[in-house]
């Protein structure tokens, strides 16, 4: 997300988040509204491209360079290598809005980078003001080609509070990225990228 999001320092912006596999999507949506979550971005198709050098030097260092299009906006994101944490995914994250992602793609290609992976999801973005905390928590409901996930981003204590209120324990926390989750999925055996069939995107975007 953008700088100033919960769980980040102005000196070294950090992303602190977890994913949780969701079995009952309608019930989860009801729970989020009942606990006071405010919908910031309605269900929208999100498209992502990860870039790297031919030898994948960024990936080997645990780093990520991503271009994203979501809710009519473009965004360039750099993520550093993950820090040690038992339950949470913690890594440096720096982002900036991109006016023309197509032009950015040309620039990155001219610098010798290539698109290594594409992934898509239908995302609904919520925010929640956690009691006893001055910070907001970002809550995303992601419908992906490999299943539905809840993503909670904020301070560790606040993530635990939100997860507990939704009925999830730390054992359900997932630290892996969508790139890694896709690599372990059955879908990875039949296609290179985590994307929806074109006709499915047309149908589901109207849901």
In a domain, 197, yes or no: yes
In a domain, 19, yes or no: yes
In a 3-state reduction of DSSP, which class is residue 35? coil
What is the per-residue pLDDT for 130?
Answer: 79
In a domain, 4, yes or no: no
The dihedral of CA 155, 161, 166, 170: what is its sign? positive
Structural domain count of the chain: 1
Nearest to 139 by CA among 129, 121, 147, 131: 129
What is the per-residue pLDDT for 132?
Answer: 63
Domain interval for residue 84: 14-201
What is the per-residue pLDDT for 135?
Answer: 80
In a domain, 59, yes or no: yes
CATH at 120: 2.40.320.10
**Contact indicator for 38, 111 with CB cutoff of 8 Å:** no
DSSP string, 41-95: EEEEEEEEEEEE-TT-HHHHTT-EEEEEEETTEEEEEEE-PPPP-SS-EEEEEEE
In a domain, 5, yes or no: no
> What does pLDDT average to in each consecutive run of 10 residues of the chain (207 residues)?
46 91 97 96 97 97 97 96 96 97 97 98 95 82 98 96 96 96 97 87 56
What is the per-residue pLDDT for 199?
Answer: 60
In a domain, 206, yes or no: no
> What ranges make up the beta strands (E) of the chain?
14-22, 38-52, 64-70, 73-79, 89-98, 114-129, 136-144, 147-153
In a domain, 101, yes or no: yes
What is the per-residue pLDDT for 11?
Answer: 64
Tokens of 179: 């790139």
What is the per-residue pLDDT for 7?
Answer: 47
What is the reported pTM?
0.88
What is the per-residue pLDDT for 8?
Answer: 47
Tokens of 49: 């491209």
């Amino acid at each position: 997300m953008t700088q100033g999001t919960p769980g980040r320092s102005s000196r070294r912006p950090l992303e602190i988040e977890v994913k949780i596999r969701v079995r009952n999507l309608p019930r989860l949506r009801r729970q989020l509204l009942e606990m006071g979550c405010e919908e910031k971005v309605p269900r929208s198709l999100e498209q992502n491209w990860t870039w790297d050098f031919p030898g994948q030097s960024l990936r080997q260092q645990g780093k990520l360079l991503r271009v994203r299009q979501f809710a009519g906006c473009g965004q360039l994101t750099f993520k550093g290598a993950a820090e040690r944490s038992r339950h949470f995914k913690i890594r440096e994250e720096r982002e900036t809005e991109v006016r023309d992602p197509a032009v950015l793609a040309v620039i990155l290609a001219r610098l010798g980078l290539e698109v290594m992976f594409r992934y898509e999801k239908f995302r609904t973005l919520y925010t929640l003001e956690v009691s006893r905390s001055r910070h907001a928590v970002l809550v995303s409901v992601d419908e992906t080609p490999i299943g539905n996930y809840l993503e909670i981003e904020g301070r560790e204590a606040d993530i635990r509070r939100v997860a507990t209120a939704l009925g999830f324990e730390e054992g359900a926390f997932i630290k892996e990225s969508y790139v890694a989750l896709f690599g372990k999925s059955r879908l990875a055996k039949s296609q290179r990228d985590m994307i929806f069939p074109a006709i499915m995107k047309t149908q589901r975007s109207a849901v």
